[in-house]
Amino acid sequence: MLESACYLDPSSAYQTLSLGDLSTARLSRIGDQGAPVAMQLKLQGCVRSDGGRRDDQQGTLVWSAIEPVATLAFNAVADADTPDLIKVVGAEGFGLRVLDVQGNDVRLGRTAPAWFVSPGESQLTYYIRPERTAAALRPGAFRASLNVYLTYD
C-alpha cells in the first residue's frame, strides 16, 4: 500500500461565500474596494516526502528533501473592463479580486508561488474582495465562479 498525495478536503471543494451587504456608496469611484471575505482551502492526507518545483513567477527552484511542494492556480471568467478581476453576473460595475493571506494580488490563470506542505492537514487562506471597475454601477444580486487547481509534487 502506498501513501497518497495531499487532497482537497471535500468541505473545501464547493464553497459558497457571502460578501454581505455591498453598498454602491462604498464602490462609488473606479478602484474603490469592498471588505475582503476569507476563503479557506483545507488539505488532508499530506505525507512527508521530497518535493520540488520551479516557481513560475520568480523562476527559482523550490525544493526540499522532507516536504513536498504545492501550487495553486485560480481560473475564472475575467471582467471585461479589468481582466485581473473575476466577472460577476447580475449586478454590474465591479468585479472580484483574489488576494493571498498577505494581501497580494493573485492573478487569474497564473500559478501562485509554490509553498512547502507540512505533513498531515494544512489550511490555506485566500480572500475575495469586491472592486469597482469602469463599467456603470448597477446594484442587484450577483454571483461569480472561481475554479481552483492544486498541483502537488
Does residue 20 contact residue 37 with C-beta atoms inside 8 Å? yes
Domain assignment of residue 139, yes or no: yes
pLDDT in tens, the chain (153 residues): 345 567 888 888 889 999 998 999 999 999 999 999 999 999 888 777 666 666 666 676 666 666 777 788 999 999 999 999 999 999 999 999 999 999 999 999 998 877 777 777 788 899 999 999 999 999 999 999 999 988 776
Domain assignment of residue 2, yes or no: no
Overall domain count for the chain? 1
Domain assignment of residue 97, yes or no: yes
| Strand 7-8 with 94-99, pairing | unpaired
Res 114: pLDDT: 75
Cell triple for residue 141? Answer: 444580486
Res 121: pLDDT: 74
Domain assignment of residue 49, yes or no: yes
Q: Which residues contact 140 (CB under 8 A, 6 or more apart)?
A: 90, 91, 92
Domain assignment of residue 1, yes or no: no
Domain assignment of residue 100, yes or no: yes
Res 1: pLDDT: 39
Cell triple for residue 146? Answer: 472561481
Domain assignment of residue 24, yes or no: yes
Res 122: pLDDT: 82
State the DSSP string of 65-98: SSS-EEEEEEE-PBPSS-TTSEEPEEEESEEEEE
Res 2: pLDDT: 45
Res 23: pLDDT: 92
Global pTM reads 0.85
Which residue segment(s) compose the domain that 24 sits in? 7-152
Q: What is the CATH number of the domain that holds 82?
A: 2.60.40.1090
